[in-house]
């Protein structure tokens, strides 16, 4: 059996969001802690794509930053069984992440020069041109500046730069969220092609379930800093186990069978500074019962093989009772 390339175990990240010290003392306010990531477990197998989905603020980007070392964990472990040098990240905003004063050639060459400082210039230039062609740009584009490109082309430049570091593992945080759908299609097709050809592993973050369905082998659904459900993509869509996942699937607009007369579920995601007791989804959950307010459900081996954290799923209570 192959070993996962990334193992994440009971990962936590807390942020201190207290008022400034003086205000706290004067106004007698307590310290406030925000649990952005609150006990998260998952593994990723080499060559696969694991997607994190969930609504704004559920902790997706914080996990990306923990995995890439931009944040230190407050608890738990991250084990990367690959070469740490070969992990790269692609961000949401392709413009902010490209230095506007550098020519594209220099931007793409940078990780290469860091990795192999001895490489002769001619070889760097040749490799940069090759990378630009790999992502569907032309070698001549190396001489241009980022502002001369469209959003989709800029995201291709970010991908070329990430590839220059010879990655085996890519963390992609909303790589197409700022792009138009036709341009998104170009970038997603490119990412899949590169994965097939180079055996890349992706940690892929998105709030868009249709994008995630297209890209991921395994999907982890997050709510308020926790993974509430994790399943292979086909199973998640065929048989969603968590009430929150079902709510998401019911609310996303569906081009193929528009739900024109639906009554959307009420409520909003509560503040992560003071999450609800027990199961943090209980105020919005149609299946909630007493236990949900007191205890926090865990993903357990005997409940759908650790795929869901929900007491109703454990007892096989059905949503149909309410619909």
3-class DSSP assignment, residue 3: coil
Q: Determine if 55 is a binding residue for another protein (CB under 8 A).
A: yes
Cα atoms in the 13 Å half-sphere on the side-chain side of 87: 18
Cβ-contact 275, 269 below 8 angstroms: no
Stretch that binds another protein, among 37-45, 73-81, 106-114, 150-158 (CB under 8 A): 150-158
Q: What's the closest the beta carbon of residue 223 comes to Mg ion, in angstroms?
A: 14
Residue 183 makes contact with another protein by CB under 8 A: yes
Question: What token pair was written down for 265?
Answer: 């579920």
Would you give the binding string for another protein spanning residues 196-225, x where CB under 8 A is met? -----------x-xxx-xx-----------
The reply to whether 26 sits near ligand ATP by the rule CB under 6 A is: no
Q: Under rule CB under 8 A, which residues in 224-283 are in contact with another protein?
A: 237, 247-249, 251-260, 262-269
Q: Residues, the chain, total?
A: 323
Per DSSP, the residues of 251-264 read HS--SSS--TT---
Complex with ligand ATP: residue 57 or 82, whichever CB lies closer: 57
Which residues of the shown chain bind ligand SF4 in the complex (CB under 6 A)?
243, 279, 281-282, 285, 287-288, 292, 297, 310-312
* Beta carbons within 8 Å of 75's beta carbon, 6+ residues apart: 10, 11, 12
Binds 272: which of Mg ion, ligand SF4, ligand ATP, none (CB < 5-8 Å by kind): ligand ATP
Q: How far is 251 from 143, CA to CA, in rounded Å?
A: 46
What stretches of the chain show up as alpha helix (H) in DSSP?
A: 21-26, 60-67, 104-115, 121-134, 151-164, 181-198, 209-215, 233-238, 243-251, 290-294, 311-314
- Toward ligand ATP, which CB reaches closer, 34 or 218? 34
Between CA 118 and CA 275 the distance in angstroms is 52
What's the min distance (Å) between Cβ of 183 and another protein? 6
Residue 264 CB, nearest approach to another protein (Å): 4
Q: Which is nearer to Mg ion, 61 or 201 (CB)?
A: 61
SS3 308: strand
Please say which residue, 13 or 307, places its beta carbon nearer to ligand ATP: 13
Instruction: Decide if 230 contacts 245 (C-beta within 8 A).
Output: no
d(CA 9, CA 44): 12
* DSSP 8-state symbol, 301: T
Q: Is 62 in the site for another protein (CB under 8 A)?
A: no
C-alpha radius of gyration, the chain, whole number: 22
Strand partners, 6: 44, 80
Q: Which residue is nearest to Mg ion (CB)?
A: 61
Interface with Mg ion, residue 62, by CB under 5 A: no
Buried residues in 282-296 as b, exposed as e (16+ CB within 10 A)? bebbebbeeebeeeb
Q: Please report whether residue 15 would count as binding ligand ATP according to CB under 6 A.
A: yes
281 binds, among ligand SF4, ligand ATP, Mg ion, none (CB under 5 to 8 A by kind): ligand SF4
Would you count residue 59 as binding ligand ATP (CB under 6 A)? Answer: yes
15 binds, among ligand ATP, ligand SF4, Mg ion, none (CB under 5 to 8 A by kind): ligand ATP
Contact residue for another protein among 1, 181, 301, 323 (CB under 8 A): 181
3-state DSSP assignment of residue 53: strand
Residue 145 interacts with, from Mg ion, ligand ATP, another protein, none (CB under 5-8 Å by kind): none
- Least distance to ligand SF4, CB of residue 221, Å: 11
């Amino acid at each position: 059996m192959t070993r996962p390339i990334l193992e994440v175990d009971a990962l936590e990240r807390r942020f201190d969001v207290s008022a400034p010290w003086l205000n706290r003392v004067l106004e007698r306010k307590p310290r406030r802690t925000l649990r952005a990531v609150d006990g998260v477990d998952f593994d990723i197998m080499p060559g696969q794509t694991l997607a994190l989905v969930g609504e704004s603020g559920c902790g997706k980007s914080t996990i990306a930053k923990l995995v890439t070392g931009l944040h230190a964990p407050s608890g738990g472990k991250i084990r990367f069984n690959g070469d740490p040098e070969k992990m790269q990240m692609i961000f949401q905003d392709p413009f902010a992440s490209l230095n506007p004063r550098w020519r594209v050639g220099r931007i793409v060459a940078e990780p290469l020069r860091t990795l192999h400082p001895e490489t002769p210039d001619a070889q760097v230039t040749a490799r940069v041109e090759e990378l630009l062609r790999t992502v569907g740009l032309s070698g001549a584009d190396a001489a241009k500046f980022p502002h001369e490109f469209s959003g989709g082309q800029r995201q291709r430049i970010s991908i070329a730069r990430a590839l220059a570091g010879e990655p085996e593992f890519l963390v992609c945080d909303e790589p197409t969220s700022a792009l138009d759908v036709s341009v998104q299609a170009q970038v997603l097709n490119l990412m899949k092609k590169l994965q097939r050809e180079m055996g890349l592993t992706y940690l892929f973050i998105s709030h868009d379930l249709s994008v995630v369905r297209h890209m991921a082998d395994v999907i982890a659904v997050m709510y308020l800093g926790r993974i509430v459900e994790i399943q292979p993509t086909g199973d998640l869509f065929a048989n969603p186990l968590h009430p929150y996942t079902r709510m998401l699937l019911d609310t996303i607009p569906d081009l193929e069978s528009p739900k024109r007369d639906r009554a959307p579920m009420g409520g909003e995601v509560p503040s992560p500074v003071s999450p609800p007791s027990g199961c943090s989804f209980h105020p919005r959950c149609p299946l909630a019962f007493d236990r949900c307010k007191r205890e926090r459900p865990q993903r357990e081996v005997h409940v759908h093989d650790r795929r869901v954290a929900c007491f109703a799923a454990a007892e096989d209570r059905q949503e149909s009772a309410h619909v």
